[in-house]
Structure 1
């Protein structure tokens, strides 16, 4: 069997076509230079992306009667500067956020176009960086601006991060209990930005009795406001990362539901949005599972020892074409693909390709494979660091529906 060499894409394609082998196409957010920009570190804002009215306390959840939008309804208007397609992209993320927060598809929060009777509403602008005011702020006369730069803020994570500010939430590391979970490295912080790392007490902050959440979409990354790319935030727990702008964590969802007293019965959302947006011409399939201490262990190729929990899946695509595979998880996932079969006693045998994507905006793998025809491979899901457990979901999209069948004997899964 010939093994493809991953060099220039045009060369790889010609080799693969000649020998009928699949071609890997890496899909990493860091491949896009715009994603390397720190668009939540905007000059003239508090904590990099928060607009403050005068004399306002700051915290994780703002305390006060003017914070919540009544009935969870946030009226909005678009300022000039967006195309119709760009406006539609923002609205689709509003719908996605509404769907994530809803219980049993019952509406809890709602973004709707402004009508003439709306006194308080947000104005969405295509300006510098990504920023928002926090909460409704009824005691102030001002334009409640949400700035979403195109294209820099046009991904699910950054857009929803700003809308969560709009709903009344500050950054996670502002919590009064943060020193038990992170250490601020003050010497590495840019001059005149130290105030962005303030910690607030219970008179300014409502944690809603939720645990500290490293995985929150509202948490700073480890090098936020760094003078030298060195960490400004040291994580005091092993095998966690922070600063993702990819998706809401389970605790993010819980907090918004609590803050807005989300009902389990009532008016349904008019359109239920999936957690992952899929182009209508593609056929999605999903595989959900969880790595546990009962899973088998192996020595991952290129890893650090033999204590990696893993789940081995038999991947089958029924016809050729370009298929994309994306992992949704709060753990730092790692994928390996194998010709024919995977041998846990020798993880280098039959290895076709591995991907971590640890340096991208999220911590999960995402890649595409151009299959020349129907194909079967072993797809091993593990983690970057040894001894890590947690849930994961693989979303596969392509011209036909891919299937995953678990070969490992332990673990609960859902293949759909």
Structure 2
């Protein structure tokens, strides 16, 4: 069994710190076990690499529509010009890990999945599988906040959510770089979403940019919760201690609509004097509107069961879909367990799934209850200070988390950089 050595290192560090295709090869009918992985992010790459390391005879194919890997972690630092993070530090090619681990790579978009015939349809090929791993990530549910397609499209272009890497990050970077002053609004969605601390770290990084460049602007966070969704008291401390003149945090404030012509946002806010929610308006110059999240649309389209919020349902304690014994769903799309939708969590769970599939191929029983995932997450709050959270799990009818949050410190920021580039190396072999 491959141990999750990088994750163990991360926990240790947190504790101390309180193309068209590169290789387009379709598996042929032979005696090898066919494992097809859909999605080349943190979870998908971990699965592809680990399966080949566990058993070189497993026929592994990774399907990914993008021709390069692009990272969400550390993108906020790049946005705010913190830590000397360049665009190249977020973007990498797939060649090294493909060559080293000898898995097939199909650089095409997935059109549909037939779970009954065990086929994956791409733009150019039909690929058979015995076991299928879906590491597809999230989609946005703009329909929950907008009634028409025109408003959705306008918001996507003018106020990108930027929880997906690539063009959204580039657009948000341009918005920050060209900002002259006024209100920069960040709206946080209700429910689960990718990387819970991301909007609050982003607020800190943008505020840091304003502070450093003497821009007369304020970052205003509209949050439907009573406090930040992750590391709450540390972020509230950071807002007050480092960005008192640059960040305004508005709890119990839910985004309702945006008017780009008049440059106003309407939000529902709890008024303590009237003891009720009332609609309020606020002016803005730029906005980062994050809509509700849900599992990638391909999951529901493939007739795989999702819950009422649109997240994939799993057979406890496994990562197998409730709709198929041979389809695994790993990473941000799952909604069965109280796992942070983070890169480290995706990486950790991918190791477990790879070990289970390797065990199934050898007709061995895999013990989920003694193979717990874990998570460590770092958030920068200033130019040289960060805070971390570490999650451990035990299993009692479901995965039950425990956690520890560090202090905000320079040492944690140093650890964050080691963690990020260590994780990149772990999945990409750079």
Q: How high is the TM-score relative to the length of structure 1?
A: 0.29
Larger Rg: 1
TM, length-normalised to structure 2: 0.29
Higher helix share: 2
